[in-house]
DNA sequence: GTAATAGTGTCTATAAGACACTATTGA
DNA sequence: TCAATAGTGTCTTATAGACACTATTAC
């Protein structure tokens, strides 16, 4: 496959002979806490944009990462301690002006995690880490670079996907009740869902199974379910329509 | 916004002090010709993978491109002469092994164009340019790098989108009949669509309008339509289901 | 007239929304 | 008993598939 002259071409090839953009990975990490959809923000401890809020992210480790998903997973682990969850590449952004260091490209990932399986970690790159309610970000946080746009695009992707996939299951702990799942869908969708429709739809899709346990309360106990294949998303052939 | 110390940080920052991946843009350009879905392939005139078939693409021009879409549009123009069409970012790929020059990232775009508005152009980077029928690629072409995977992912995206968007309109000339449009959907979908269902769906969506012309033939002439807003895709709330 | 393709009428099937209903718990 | 939430029965509505039907042209 590799001819003799290709070998010599490669021997003489030096990546630094050309101008290449800076390339990084940024993460929009969603969770649900206190009945609210939240996103992970870090206060940058280093230049550029030192002291500003931003999405967590960083450079590809060329010696360790074997692909972009590994970079994203590494970032997720560094900030949250979580290693598995729904991880999805959303979009890639590039321009000469989005970072003051020059032409830069960032691959944006969206991650969904259950808030009770994690422990937030600051590190040398961030002086503070918070779960910001998504609705507060626009008013209470000024995000560095084009992270406002990236966050909006990821949020929009999540809102779209709640309409035709089972994705929000990844925001819950392993075990959950149908009411909890419905509430999660409603939080993302921003409107209420009719209970019977929701249950029919989810149960007919054959993606969750009863654990046999019951969740007690001062009311009728709810059946506890878990995903049949955790992390896999079901695609429905029809959107949730919402109230008519 | 930019503090005094950030300014000095940037003055001392040299992108070449760090290892950064090679970054490129690759294009999967679809069209329909001879009642067949085809994809544009180029035979590489330069190392690496000289002489192999590949998707058209290349490096970001840091002095001219203002964002990644501009890079993709430039590549599209260089190869086909077309400047406007449906252009959509599909996915970004990165690994140390996908290009022999080292850790590399490529942003993959999908473009849909009408075959009668274009003229294929070879240039110094490609010794040959062809429209390859999508079904022949797997058997008759060995693609360089990971372009086989990229092509499959883009093709899958197109097949998914035909089920719930009006995207295939972008594969036709400005004017078209409903039968031509239906045929286009069927080619991508890989199965027949019931005529009445298709017409109801498309007409109810209010995305095309009669031009007033008729397409003559040795049969009843067909009404000629055009897109109301060319390039914009309609998203249907339900998938095409196909034959029961 | 026929062949061929354009275009319609209308029935059935599927899955969502609406909403009233029953069920089961703790206090 | 009541309050509260879990869970069901069943009617209506919207849109897709099936398929037979009519319409309009060239020859």
CB–CB of A89 and B89 under 8 A?
no
Which one of B105, B160, B238 would you mutate to disrupt binding with A, by most A Cβ within 10 Å of its Cβ? B105
- The Cα of B26 is separated from the nearest Cα of chain A by a number of Å equal to 13
Name the one residue in this structure whose structure tokens are 């993978």: B49
- Chain A touched by B62 (CB under 8 Å): yes
Q: With respect to CATH, is domain A19-148 assigned 3.60.15.10? A: no
Nucleic strand C within 7 A of Cβ A194:
yes
**Predicted local confidence at residue A11, as pLDDT:** 63
How far does B99 lie from chain A, in Å, by closest CA?
11
Pick the CATH number of A163-227 from 1.10.3720.10, 3.50.50.60, 3.40.50.720, 1.10.10.10: 1.10.10.10
Residue A102 three-state SS: coil
**Measured between beta carbons, which residues in chain B are less than 8 angstroms from residue A103?**
60, 62
Does residue A242 approach strand C to less than 7 Å at its CB? yes
Give yes or no on whether A19-148 and A163-227 have one common fold: no
A106: exposed, middle or buried (C-beta count within 10 Å: 0-12, 13-18, 19+)?
buried
| A105-126 per-position pLDDT tens digit | 999 999 999 977 666 666 767 7
Q: How many residues does chain A have?
A: 244
Those residues of chain A that have pLDDT short of 50 are 1-2
Cα B40 to Cα B113: distance, rounded to the nearest angstrom = 11
Within 7 Å: CB of A196 and strand D? yes
Nucleotide nearest to B244 (CA to C1'): D17
| Nearest nucleotide, CA A195 to C1' | D7
What is the number of other CB atoms lying within 10 angstroms of the CB of residue B173? 11
Q: Which residues of A touch B48 (CB under 8 A)?
A: 6, 9-10
pLDDT at B120: 67
pLDDT tens, chain B, 244 aa long: 445 666 665 566 665 556 789 999 999 999 999 999 999 999 998 878 889 999 999 999 999 999 999 999 999 999 888 877 899 999 999 999 999 988 999 999 999 999 776 666 666 677 789 999 999 999 999 999 999 999 999 999 999 999 999 999 999 999 999 999 999 999 999 999 999 999 999 999 999 999 999 999 889 999 999 999 988 999 999 999 889 8
pTM above 0.85, yes or no: yes
B223 is near strand C: CB distance < 7 Å: yes
Smallest Cβ–Cβ distance between A10 and the set B13, B62, B100 belongs to B100
pLDDT digits (tens, 9 = 90+) for B207-216: 999 999 999 9
Does residue A123 approach strand C to less than 7 Å at its CB?
Answer: no
In the 178-237 stretch of chain B, whose C-beta falls under 7 Å of nucleic acid strand D?
A: 193-198, 200-201, 204, 214, 216-221, 236-237
pLDDT tens string B151-178: 999 999 999 999 999 999 999 999 999 9
Q: H-type helices in chain B, by residue range? A: 4-11, 68-80, 134-140, 147-164, 178-189, 195-204
Phi, psi of B230 (to 5 degrees): -60, 135
Residue B237, CA: closest nucleotide via C1'?
D15
**DSSP-assigned letter for residue A109:** E
Give B203's contacts (C-beta < 8 A, 6+ positions apart): none
Report domain extents, chain A. 19-148, 163-227
- Cβ-defined contact of B68 to A100 (cutoff 8 Å): no
Whether the beta carbon of B164 falls within 7 A of nucleic chain D: the reply is: no
The verdict on B23 touching A (C-beta cutoff 8 Å) is: yes
Cβ-based contacts of A49 with chain B (< 8 Å) = 6
Nearest to B205 by CA among B229, B170, B174: B229
- B92 sits in the region (left: phi over 0; alpha: psi -120 to 50; else beta) called beta
Residue B221: CB less than 7 A from any atom in strand C: yes
User: For position B1, what pLDDT does the model report?
Assistant: 47
Beta partners for residue A131, in sequence order = A40
- Note the pLDDT of residue A1: 47
pLDDT of residue B156: 98
Angle formed at CA A104 by CA A98 and CA A108, multiple of 5 degrees: 80
Chain C bases closer than 7 A to any CB of the protein = 3-10, 15-20, 23-27
Contact flag, residue A192 CB and nucleic strand D, below 7 A: no
The pLDDT of residue B38 is 97
Q: What pLDDT score does A118 carry?
A: 67
Query: Residue B22 and residue A22: Cβ atoms within 8 Å?
Result: no
CA distance readout (Å), A187 to A36, A171, A193, A234, B89: 7, 11, 10, 19, 29
Q: Identify which of B99, B109, B93, B24 has the alpha carbon closest to the alpha carbon of residue A71.
A: B93
CB-facing half-sphere around the CA of A134: CA atoms within 13 A: 23
Name every chain B residue with its beta carbon within 8 A of the beta carbon of A9.
47-48
Task: Write out which nucleotides of chain D lie closer than 7 A to a protein Cβ.
Answer: 3-10, 14-20, 23-27
Q: Tell me the β-bridge partners of B238.
A: A238
Looking at beta carbons, which residues of chain A come within 8 Å of B62? 19, 21, 96, 102-103
Beta-ladder partners of B43: B53, B128
């Amino acid at each position: 496959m590799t001819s003799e002259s290709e070998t010599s071409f490669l021997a003489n090839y030096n990546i630094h002979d050309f101008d290449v953009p800076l390339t990084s990975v940024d993460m929009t990490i969603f969770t649900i806490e206190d009945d609210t959809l939240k996103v992970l923000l870090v206060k940058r401890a280093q230049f550029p944009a030192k002291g500003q809020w931003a999405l967590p992210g960083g450079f590809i480790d060329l010696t360790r990462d074997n692909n972009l998903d590994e970079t994203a997973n590494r970032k997720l682990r560094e900030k949250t301690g979580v290693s598995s969850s729904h991880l999805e590449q959303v979009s890639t952004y590039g321009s000469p002006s989005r970072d003051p260091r020059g032409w830069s490209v960032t691959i944006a990932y969206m991650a969904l995690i259950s808030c009770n399986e994690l422990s937030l970690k600051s590190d040398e790159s961030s002086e503070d880490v918070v779960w910001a309610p998504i609705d507060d970000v626009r008013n209470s946080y000024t995000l560095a670079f084009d992270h406002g746009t990236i966050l909006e695009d990821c949020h929009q992707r999540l809102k779209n996907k709640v309409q035709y996939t089972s994705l929000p299951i990844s925001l819950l702990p392993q075990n959950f009740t149908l009411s909890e799942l419905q509430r999660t869908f409603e939080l993302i969708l921003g409107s209420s869902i009719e209970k019977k429709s929701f249950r029919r739809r989810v149960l007919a899709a054959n993606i969750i199974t009863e654990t046999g346990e019951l969740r007690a309360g001062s009311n009728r106990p709810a059946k506890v379910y878990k995903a049949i294949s955790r992390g896999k998303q079901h695609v429905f052939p029809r959107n949730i329509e919402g109230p008519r």
